[in-house]
Amino acid sequence: MFNRKYTFIDLFSGCGGLSEGFYRLGFKALAHVEINHWACETLRKRMAYYGYKNICQEVIEKDITSDNILTYIDEAVSGREVDVIIGGPPCQAYSTAGRVRDSKGMASDPRNFLFESYVKILEYYRPKFFVFENVTGLLSAKVNGKLIMPSIMKALGHLYKVTDNPEVLVHNTADYGVPQIRKRVIIMGVRKDIKNKDVLDLYRDVIKTHWNPETEEINRKGRHKFISVQQAIGDLPVVEPGEDASTLTFNYPCNNSFLKRIGKAGIHPLMDHIARKHNDLDRERFSVMIKNRWSFGQLRKAMPQYEHEHARVFDNSYVVQWWDLPSKTILAHIHKDGFQFIHPDGKQARSFTVREAARIQSFPDDFEFAGSRGEKYKQIGNAVPPLFAEALAKSIKKNLKDITHDI
């Protein structure tokens, strides 16, 4: 009889959004590998929350390309069996936005080949399954004129059954109860010697629970309507630009299905609900856009007095996230100014707070981020939404049970 917790290693962990989904399904973390100090501090806080004792060893704050990285991971794993490896290399080298900004299309970016470190560790531990997450730009990213995706699939497919079908690989997190349109590539694999399990079984068991605004009517049957910005952050206290509404005694209502999944009703601390300062002109822009339900492009055309003085400003430089829709994709860029994540309340006329951004990413209300406000925004923008990670973990757990029930 199989009587231990299923285990995982998280590579390129970030602040632990992917790990959070696996924690919630009862998995045990053996090691996290992450190079960013503040993300590692966040990982340590969350591991302590879940009662881990050997945190210093199990959060490995190292460059994953280091020659001795396997030594550090081995020390953390301590001979225990690894059931699944999760994670994904930094997405900036693969993102279409990054390639547009870089004159060489990110071709010389060393991060293009960080997948090789993932594969090295995968082939060393040979877990039963793996989960590899990245941006959809991965499908079209090129290095020296050649698509990188075939190289990644060939490397991952050496010991694992995989699929390169984009219709299978691309997932929208809004379909899993996350209040955000966020499309990501999920590559999963089944070790080739596991004969009674196909990789498509893993994808089949990632269950879509919601439909999003782009979902065709025929595919909405049996699913819940998307989670809106209103449902995600509408209960949080009003906070004016420059003010701090964080408190030790916030009375959480948990009055909808989303809030019940990420928090608990009653009086608990409210962390990181601090609003940025904005100048008067920007606040006027926000208010007029919200009042008329305009894009920034419509504002510029209808009221030229609100045109921006900087030349490199585009119609999407300011974006209101509307109450009745899911948010657009939360990006790490939110740490710079937040103008693409304007709160839909015209009276507040400001960008999202850290806690609001965390809510949009489906982080639990008791999730504590380490570092400055800017560092927290970056961690949140780079993370996998925990509720989406939970859907992936459910599939992995179900399929692990299928192959281990007789052990």
Active site residues: 91
d(CA 377, CA 382): 9
How far is 171 from 156, CA to CA, in rounded Å? Answer: 19
Q: CB–CB of 138/149 below 8 Å? A: yes
CB 14 within 8 A of CB 36: yes
Q: How far apart are CA 353 and CA 343, in angstroms?
A: 9
Q: Which residue has the tokens 């470190």?
A: 117
Which of 336, 335, 356 is closest to 344 using CA atoms? 356
Tokens of 66: 């280091």
29 CB contacts (<8 Å, ≥6 apart)? 7, 8, 9, 10, 19, 22, 23, 47, 52, 58
Is 56 in contact with 76 (CB distance < 8 Å)?
no
In 93-199, the DSSP E strands lie at: 129-135, 142-143, 146-147, 160-161, 170-172, 183-191
Strand-strand pairing, 59-60 and 28-33: parallel
Task: Compute the chain's Rg from CA coordinates.
Answer: 22
- Alpha-carbon distance 142 to 53, whole Å? 43
